[in-house]
Amino acid sequence: MKQSSSRSDTLLGGLSGAPDVDTELTDTSLLQAMLDAEAALARAAADCGVLPAPAAQAIVAHCRADRYDPTSLGRAADATGNPVVPLVRELTAAVPEHARPWVHLGATSQDILDTALVLVTRRATEPLLRHLDAAADAAARLADTHRATVLVARTLGQQAAPTTFGLKAAGWLVELLEVRAGLLRARATLPAQLGGAVGTLAALGSAGPAVSERYAEHLGLAASPLPWHTRRQPILDQAAAIGGLLAGTGKVAVDVGLLARTEVGEVAEGGPGRGGSSAMPHKRNPVDSVLVTAAARRGPGLVATLFTAALQEHERAAGDWHAEWEPLLDLLHLAGGAAARCARMLDGLQVRPERMRANLDATGGLVLAEAVAARLAPTLGRGAARDLVARAATRPGFRDALLTDPDIRAHLSRPEIDEALDPYGWLGSADRFVDRALAAHRGTLP
């Protein structure tokens, strides 16, 4: 039997993740990140004259994940509450005898695991951002192509007034750009963690701050002014950014799913062979919409877990820190899948302008009631104009009701009524807003 190497290789994980993101979330990847932290610690301590350079070189040489078994380390972790303790034990046994006293010098388990999770987060964010950029590019194409494609906007589940599909896609685009900006901000401030047993780095003596700074430099991470063992804002920033990504892509997915309903039929997901049913041969389900929505529904609970776990006591937490590890990795897994599927969904989206126009026309012009009232308002006042149009809206055939209402005809001619009922005349600044969204998108391109 083939053993799964990443979450995307599991029976259900392939429905929620993306292989290139999940590659950064495997046990081996996390183990390598822990060893990268140990190697950086040895290098930094040697740079500051705290340990001999030959010892540092020997430690670095043995900080390779392929030398260790994640499964056995995980089993051994049950005795100590985290996998760093057995890893340090095995690393110490692996290095030459002259280097053994210097392994893990000055650090505590939380330093290594926190830093490793930060490294994993940063590494997983790279392919995640590529998927997000692809989704934004697809949304931009839709916005530009369909800036003049009219459809009815819906508010509170009901038909409301005309808009354009280009503006709807532009809204998706801006949502994705804002999500991207949040991820970049959170990534830029990801800090290394090094504080020792209680956040004083006492074991490193007066060299503690210097070692901490060099440690961060070797890892390419931000240097925190103080250890953040129980100040969990870096984790909360990541949780909020990733949760925002799931909400943003989920918004797009929900819209697509609603527009793809049989009774609406304004869009369809592309891709041959996708969306089939085991029972109904005719079905063509919006699969990417469904899966992205599912990921978005799962996100808030994971974000809530991380925020709940942030209330940590004194200098080191009992259980709250431990509660963060898997939810953070789960969030990254879901975010990768949501971003990748959102990109695929938008890139292959089939838009049906004729169906959009038919749905807009289905109420006989009622969705332009606001436009008619706006033409009456200058002479009648807004309240009276609204009441007149509302009265006409209760009668069959909205256009005929307008044309046969003497109070309305006293102020509007037949051509003026027909002009008011033209959806292209009631699009406001939709085209300009599309231009703004596309300009914002161009500003994010390399």
Residue 1 inside a domain? The answer is no
The amino acid present at 436, given as its one-letter code, is R
68-92 pLDDT, tens digit per residue, is 999 999 999 999 999 999 999 999 9
Contact 194, 41 (CB under 8 A): yes
What is the extent of the structural domain holding 402? 358-444
Classify residue 2: in a domain, yes or no.
no
Residue-level pLDDT at 282: 61
State the pLDDT at residue 272: 66
Q: Is the pLDDT reported for residue 188 higher than 90?
A: yes
Closest CA to 296 of 233, 254, 266: 254
Query: What are the structure tokens assigned to 161, written together?
Result: 């007034």
The DSSP line for 396-432 is: SSHHHHHHH-HHHHTT--HHHHHHHT-GGGG-TTHHH
Residue type, 367: V
Assess whether 325 and 424 both reside in one domain: no
pLDDT tens-digit series, residues 371-428: 999 999 999 999 999 999 999 999 989 999 999 999 999 999 999 999 999 999 999 9
Mean pLDDT of 314-340: 97
CA distance linking residue 63 with residue 46, whole number of Å: 16
Residue range 1-15: mean pLDDT, rounded: 70
- Report d(CA 147, CA 142) in Å as an integer: 8
* Residue at 80 is within a domain: yes
From 327, 356, 385, the end of a domain falls on 356
Q: Tell whether 171 and 210 lie within a shared domain.
A: yes
Are 185 and 317 found together in one domain?
yes
pLDDT for res 421: 95
Quickly state the pLDDT bin for 8 (edges 50, 70, 90): confident
Question: Residue 158 belongs to what H/E stretch?
Answer: strand 158-164
List, for residues 105-147, the tens digit of each pLDDT value: 999 999 999 999 999 999 999 999 999 999 999 999 999 999 9
- For residue 12, the model assigns a pLDDT of 77
How would you label 389-426 residue by residue, b for 16+ Cβ within 10 Å and e otherwise? Answer: beebbeeeebbebbbebeebeeebeeeebeebbebeeb
Q: What is the pLDDT averaged over residues 229-240?
A: 97
* Alpha carbon distance 426, 406 (integer Å): 24
For range 18-33, the mean pLDDT: 96
Amino acid 445: pLDDT? 64
Domain at 166, CATH number: 1.20.200.10
pLDDT for 199 equals 96
Same domain? For 340 and 401 the reply is no
**pLDDT score at 285:** 78
Binned at pLDDT 50, 70 and 90, residue 281 comes out as low
Percent of the chain with pLDDT over 90: 91
Picking from 60, 41, 47, the residue whose alpha carbon sits closest to that of residue 221 is 41
Query: Worst-scoring range by mean pLDDT, 36-45, 119-128, 267-276, 431-440?
Result: 267-276
Phi and psi at 163, nearest 5°, equal: -145, -165
Residue 288 — pLDDT band, cuts 50, 70, 90? very high
Q: State the DSSP code for 150.
A: E
Domain boundary among 291, 324, 356: 356
Q: Is residue 177 part of a domain?
A: yes
**Cα–Cα distance for residue pair 52/70, rounded to 1 Å:** 29
Reported pTM: 0.93
Least confident of 31-45, 139-153, 250-264, 265-279: 265-279
pLDDT of res. 446: 58
Residue 193 has pLDDT above 90, yes or no: yes
Residue 13 lies in a domain: yes
pLDDT band at 2 (very low <50, low <70, confident <90, very high): very low
Structural domain total, the chain: 2
Based on the fold, state whether residues 382 and 338 are members of the same structural domain. Answer: no
Q: Does pLDDT of 280 surpass 60? A: no
269 and 310 both lie in a single domain: yes
User: Above 90 in pLDDT, residue 203?
Assistant: yes
Catalytic residues: 277, 316
283 pLDDT band, cuts 50/70/90, is low
Count of H-run helices and E-run strands, the chain: 18, 4
pLDDT at 51: 95
Q: How many CA atoms lie within 13 A of 269 on its CB side?
A: 29
Average pLDDT, the chain: 94
Does residue 438 lie within any of the structural domains? yes
Write down the pLDDT at residue 197: 95
User: Which residues face 162 on adjacent strands?
Assistant: 152
